[in-house]
Structure 1
Amino acid sequence: MTRASKHTDPKNRQRRQLLATGGLAVASTLVSTRGADASQSAPPTGNPVPGIEFVYEAIVLLEASTPVGETPFGRRNRIPIIGGEFAGPDIKGKVLPGGMDWQLIRPDRFTVIEADYMMQTDDGALIHVYNKGVVGMASGGEFYARSAPWFEAPNGPHVWLNQAVFVGTLGPVPERPEPAVRIRVFKVT
């Protein structure tokens, strides 16, 4: 079948119309949930460049690292999360003890972090955090420490954490005597 006949074939034309209608129905549903304001009713056009918006800074307290040993993927460490606090313009609270950071030191000397823990906001909401990232010296000799936190917040005032993508920076906390990490979280806009 030639390209021209694909476009004139009634079955293909119906299929394209169904696909287009389905896509418009999804877009229409998304638009109708945004409200009656005309400035918010049109779906985005083009390919906008994402920005970032500061959400909070956390100081996460840690116990000493427990080496697990060498694996086929690198050297594994286990670091218990024992508490901490976080604060930002729209959210504040504490990091609950009982979480864990599983680190994998790869052969390229970058460390993969996988932290899984709970935070409790000042209004009592419990938020599950899963934060995965990489830490190490980049090829240009610069220190690189970035993560992608993922949140599971209950319905209510913090549900917005479930509705966006976030990125984070990781760094030391020299002003604290105990082991700790500073995590700054940003919403990708």
Structure 2
Amino acid sequence: MTPLLEPICTLAIDLTRPHEMGECPGGTRRIIPIVGGTAKGARINGRILNIGADWQTVQAGGLAQLDARYAIETDDGAVVEVISQGIRHMAPEVAERAAGGEDVPFSDYYMRTFIRLESGHPDYDWVNRSLFLATGGKRGASVHLEIFRIG
């Protein structure tokens, strides 16, 4: 049976300057603070709290391992934790364009994340029993993700 993807929300995640760790055994490491943003959609609406970060490891060949944790405070008062792990791959010429500040179309590279959401709020208990997938990419100083529940 092919799973269905239910649209949940769109995240616009605000970032600040990365903290570069340099070349480590697994690749080039950086920590990118998550300082705000928005969640808008059919099932989750609210703001992204200033309490998270994305720990990235960029390996030879341009493959980035993404590992982010942050939280959404919904418009109705719930706090939803976001645990996002995935990959991004850009061809060298695309990475050069992005590093130069160009707004590279998401279709020019691959970025997918597996997302777990968790909340203690009774109205959001459904997120504790679901798995999510995200697609998207970077736009300026933010990351935009379309979140889907895997049904």
TM-score, structure 1 length as denominator?
0.68
**C-alpha RMSD of the superposition:** 1.5
The runs of 5 or more residues in structure 1 that have no matched partner are: 1-47
User: 155-164 vs 51-60, which deviates more?
Assistant: 155-164
Give the number of aligned pairs: 136
Highest RCO, 1 vs 2 (Cα 8 Å, sep ≥ 6):
2
Highest CA radius of gyration, 1 or 2?
A: 1
Cα deviations by residue, 1:105-129 (Å, 9 ceiling, x for unpaired): 0123110111111110011111111
Q: Which amino acid aligns with 1:157?
A: D
Mapped pair 1:187 → 2:149: yes
Q: Which residue of 2 aligns with 1:165?
A: 131
Maintained 8 Å contact 2:78/2:121: no
Which protein is richer in helix relative to its size? 1
Equivalent residues in 2 for 1:16-31, closer than 5 Å: none
Alpha-carbon shift at residue 49 of structure 1 (Å): 1.2
Alignment of 1:18-57 (within 5 A): 48-57=1-10
Equivalent position to 1:88, from 20, 23, 41: 41
| Residue identity (%) | 31
SS in 1 for 2:9: strand
CA contact (8 A) 2:134 2:147 kept: yes
Aligned residue for 1:162, secondary structure, equals: helix
Specify which structure has the higher proportion of strand: 2
**Secondary structure of the corresponding residue to residue 157 of structure 1:** helix
Secondary structure class of the residue paired with 1:124: coil
